[in-house]
Amino acid sequence: MNILVINAGSSSLKYQLFQMKDESVLAKGKIERIGMETAILTHEPAGKAEVREVSEILEHTTAIRKVLALLVHPEHGVLASTAEIDAVGHRVVHGGESFKNSVLVTDEVKQEIKRLFDLAPLHNPAHMLGIIAVEANMPDVPQAVVFDTAFHQTMPAPAYLYPIPMVLYRKHKVRRYGFHGTSHKYVSERAAAFLGRPLEQLKLVTCHIGNGASCAAIWGGQSVDTSMGMTPLEGLMMGTRSGDLDPAIVPYAMGKEDLTLGEISSMLNKHSGLQAISGGSSDMREIVEAMEAGDKNAALAFDMYEYRLRKYIGAYAAAMNGIDAIVFTAGVGENSELLRKAVCEHLTFLGVEFDEEANRQGRGLERRITTSSSRVQVLVIPTNEELVIAEDTYRLVQAAVD
């Protein structure tokens, strides 16, 4: 069975085609700048040369048509015909309280995703465009949706409610949902396999540290808390997002700087975090380079980032009354030796015995970066959200056939 995984953004579309027999990737790619005359398509077929095209792609239906054409292209393709695509799995950011698991797309599911547009105005409408574009091009192919929020639906009320009037929750569903659930779930399962222990017996803190970043407290395989909230703005300091701050800053800064709601929202989401403190870059590679060259602002940005992450790990150790392992994943978590070292060296009180040598080795592999006698293990586990989406889609389609 071949499954096409799609992550549709408002002006971009990423895809990966999986052969489920061995879970290999037959092709992957992305289209950026959808809606413009100069949209950029990058297509990487396995074992063949990469293709890059610049052309006018004004909307998602055309984007999907382009992708399908490339997948069956005589030179750049990997399939004889689009009939060889058995199902499509979509990433959907917000499933609200309606979706606790991945589901097959039906009219009702589409209606519910639309009802959730308010909660994720930047993401869910774009995902819906992706679903409709697939329908337009491949009307008979089953589609599934996999939600970033679903895994965190096991959080108990004390973790998911905000201490504000309950009417906001009852009427408007203002609560904490959490994101990156697909990744937290995947790395927690891989961590249990790596440690050779049943997931049901483990208390884990998983740290998905990419451009966006979140931690999760995972107890017995269930998410019991996570750092992102109603939106992905809460929690850790990120590349361009502030993470936690005193909400009174919002009206205060709006008044002092004469900002609109849109402007303050853009400031907190797009111009804060590492970028704001370093005075330029939101990319951890550039922060570390600048810091090593003596840039004090970059060093401050790094220290704040690490400090805020470490505080969350401590909080989750308290939330679960102890932890067995900490897992680092995503762009920064998998690649930044320096961040992992800084975090681990400050967690000796928890029983973390850092292994400097192991931290430097094995890039791209699942590995342990603590000594064998460390009471709390620290692991690096590369995430693979697309594979989880493909697996969930496969499972749902198989179940529907059986």
Q: Which active-site residues does the annotation give?
A: 148
| Least separation in angstroms between CB 167 and ligand ADP | 34
Query: Which residues participate in the annotated binding site?
Result: 7, 14, 91, 208-212, 283-285, 331-335, 385
Q: Rule CB under 6 A: is residue 9 a binding residue for ligand ADP?
A: no
**One character per residue 227-266, x = contact with ligand ADP (rule: CB under 6 A):** ------------x---------------------------
Instruction: Select 17 or 330, whichever has its Cβ closest to ligand ADP.
Output: 330
Of the pair 77, 212, the CB lying nearest ligand ADP is at 212
Binding residues for ATP: 14, 208-212, 283-285, 331-335
Selected range binding ligand ADP among 19-27, 58-66, 209-217, 243-251, rule: CB under 6 A = 209-217
How far is Cα 392 from Cα 25, in angstroms, rounded to an integer?
16
Residue nearest to ligand ADP (CB): 331
Beta-strand pair 13-19/2-8: antiparallel
Position among 89, 178, 212, 382 found at the interface with ligand ADP (CB under 6 A): 212
Which of 135/283 has CB closer to ligand ADP? 283
Minimum CB distance to ligand ADP, residue 32 (Å): 13
Residue 43 CB coordination number (10 Å) = 25
Region binding ligand ADP by CB under 6 A among candidate stretches 108-116, 162-170, 308-316, 328-336: 328-336
Q: How many residues bind ligand ADP (CB under 6 A)?
A: 12
For ligand ADP, the closer CB: 210 or 229: 210
Looking at 169-177, 210-218, 219-227, 343-351, which segment touches ligand ADP (CB under 6 A)?
210-218
266-325 residues in contact with ligand ADP (CB under 6 A) are: 283-285
CB of 363 to ligand ADP, least distance (A): 8
CB of 180 to ligand ADP, least distance (A): 8
Residue 183 Cβ, how far from ligand ADP at the closest point, in Å?
A: 9
29/210 with CB nearer ligand ADP = 210
Annotated binding site for Mg(2+): 7, 385
Which span sits near ligand ADP by CB under 6 A: 153-161, 170-178, 327-335, 391-399?
327-335
Q: Which CB, 179 or 312, lies closer to ligand ADP?
A: 179
Q: How far apart are CA 329 and CA 317, in angstroms?
A: 18
Binding mask 329-348 for ligand ADP (x = CB under 6 A): -xxx--xx------------
Q: Which segments are annotated as binding site for substrate?
A: 91
Q: Are 255 and 282 in contact (CB under 8 A)?
A: no
> Which of 35, 28, 27 lies closest to 11 in space, CA to CA?
35
> What is the nearest approach in angstroms of ligand ADP to the Cβ of residue 90?
16
Closer residue to ligand ADP (CB): 224 or 276: 276
Strand partners, 53: 41
164 CB burial (10 A radius; 0-12, 13-18, 19+): exposed
Report, in Å, the least distance between residue 383 CB and ligand ADP: 8
Residues that bind ligand ADP (CB under 6 A): 210-212, 239, 283-285, 330-332, 335-336
